[in-house]
Amino acid sequence: MQVVFTRARRTVLRLEPRGRERTVRMNAFFAGAPAEVREAVLAWIRSGRRARAKLERLDAWIETQIEIVEQTAPRPVIQRTRGRVHDLARLAAEVRAQEFPSTFEQDGGPAWPKLTWGRAPRSRSRRTLRLGSFDFWAGVVRMHPVLDQPAVPEHFVRYVLFHELLHAALPAERGRSGRRVYHSREFRRREQAFGGTAAALAWEQAHLGELLWSARTGQDMRLQAAASPRLAPGRAVAAHEVRLSEPAEPGLLRRLVQRLLF
């Protein structure tokens, strides 16, 4: 087995099974991992999700390391809000006025985040897709460029943008287990109360396949009346997995590793 250290922040631990020899790609901060973390990595390689206790320990340690990396070396941000079709600045101003009139930069509230369209990922083999993200340490909302095309309605872009701005307004909390809870009860309540949630989720459910195909190929979507047949039965990704910006509870590791491993 070969070990390769990387500077990847999104997928900090990855197993690539290729023939008889497998390659483990991990962020360079694993070089200084304590013995119990190294043991947890080995348990994950051997047993996958069955090593629950080891995975919980690995999850917690990875989270602390990501916090250190993000605080000490934040990524530079070039704001680009006007896209080919959709203008993030205008949509965000509308959402702010309607949903967050007194939240940001008032009475010690959080700062209004920077907004930008993200870069298209290099890999085109994805079966999952992050349509938006909120970087807490950099204070940046990034939107996936696949949303900036004529076939994606403005109400859906507005909903994804609202979801990420809600993360900025409601920072993660520590749950009873000590892990961060990104989607608290208040978060879920606010999201359900948003006027565009139902229509956005319905559109997402109907056109998830086209979104994934567009992101993978770099071509504009070709809308169909029902869910796209491009995803084989059982391979479709649940709607909430597509749009979340942070790791879903329980377990940071579940987001950081490739789904094909288990």
Q: Domain of 187: which CATH number?
A: 3.30.2010.10
- Structural domain containing residue 47: 2-72
Task: Supply 192's token pair.
Answer: 């359900």
Give the residue from 195, 201, 185 showing the smallest Cα distance to 238.
201
- Give the chain's domain count: 2
Whether residue 28 has pLDDT greater than 70: yes
Cα distance between residue 6 and residue 28, in whole Å: 6
Q: Is the peptide bond before 113 cis (omega within 30 degrees of 0)?
A: no
Q: In the predicted model, what is the mean pLDDT of residues 77-87?
A: 92
Residue 146 lies in a domain: yes
Residue 63 lies in a domain: yes
Residue 29 lies in a domain: yes
Whether residue 35 has pLDDT greater than 70: yes
Give the H or E element holding residue 244: none
The residue to which tokens 């680009």 are assigned: 80
Average pLDDT value over all residues in the chain: 78
Report yes or no on whether pTM surpasses 0.85. Answer: no
Residue 80 lies in a domain: no
Q: With bands split at pLDDT 50, 70 and 90, how would you rate the model's confidence at 4?
A: confident
Q: With bands split at pLDDT 50, 70 and 90, how would you rate the model's confidence at 48?
A: confident
Which segment of 105-109, 110-114, 167-171, 205-209 scores lowest on mean pLDDT? 105-109
Cα distance between residue 254 and residue 231, in whole Å: 22
Domain boundary at 40, 72, 104, which? 72
pLDDT digits (tens, 9 = 90+) for 118-152: 987 765 556 678 899 998 878 899 999 999 999 99
234 and 147 share a domain?
yes
Q: Which residue has the higher pLDDT, 92 or 127?
A: 92
Residue 250: what residue type? P
248 and 120 share a domain?
yes
Helix, strand or coil for residue 147?
helix
Cα distance between residue 210 and residue 230, in whole Å: 8
Task: Supply 88's token pair.
Answer: 């993030």
Q: Which residues pair with 23 in a beta bridge?
A: 2, 16
Whether residue 235 has pLDDT greater than 50: no
Contact between 227 and 212 under an 8 Å Cβ cutoff? The reply is: no
Residue 132 lies in a domain: yes
